[in-house]
Amino acid sequence: MTVRKGYILLTDTGTLFTRLIRLYTKKPYNHASIAFDSNLTEVYSFGRKSAGNPFVGGFIKEDVNSELFHHAGCVIYSFTATDEQWQTMNRYLKTIEAQKEDYRYNCLGLIGFIVKRPINRKKAFFCSQFVASILNECNIVDFGKPLSLISPGDLQNLAEFQLIYQGALKGYHEKRHFLASYVTPPILETERHKSRI
């Protein structure tokens, strides 16, 4: 059975909005995204559609190299999915993406989260609710509670996830670039000679 790897990205961008959320959650990372490749080129979430306007939000494909994430701290987890789970996840995502103009950021859901009362709105998510809905849709994680009560902190330390990186988001890309460009030194002539003896 073929398995694929997906990635959960939790970030702290340091914006006023995330600082306000952190005052409530007391957690270091308060934005959640899901990625479909280890280079983080296919990253999706619900958040601000414009870097300069936190009040207009919805479904977004994120550019982790943008100014918004330039000084972001992060933690990255990997998870495995079967081909069937991957296809289910992809179909679910593509359906939302095709109707993205109809989707909104679930601000009321955030209020429900604060008062611990789930508020589900049609075609509306906040970031961790969206990530949880994808994982739930393809049966990778059973959260055991309403998805509108899932916080980024709830996505940490799950048995289904493996921690692969924690630190500056920029540092993750630098580390991957270093590993990709690293070339094993050529074998010395004496070693080649020994190998033929």
Could you report the per-residue pLDDT of 120-147, keeping only the tens digit for each? 899 999 999 999 999 999 999 999 999 9
Give the mean pLDDT of 24-46: 92
Sign (positive or negative) of CA dihedral 135, 140, 146, 151: negative
- Fold assignment, 3-196: endopeptidase fold (from Nostoc punctiforme) (3.90.1720)
- Dihedral through CA 140, CA 7, CA 41, CA 121, nearest 10? 50
Give me the residue label for tokens 């460009």. Answer: 181
pTM of the model: 0.85
Assign 185 a pLDDT band (cuts: 50, 70, 90).
very low
- Dihedral through CA 132, CA 141, CA 156, CA 41, nearest 10? -60
| Out of 7-11, 15-19, 170-174, least confident range | 15-19
* pLDDT value at residue 193: 40
* Residue 3 DSSP symbol: E
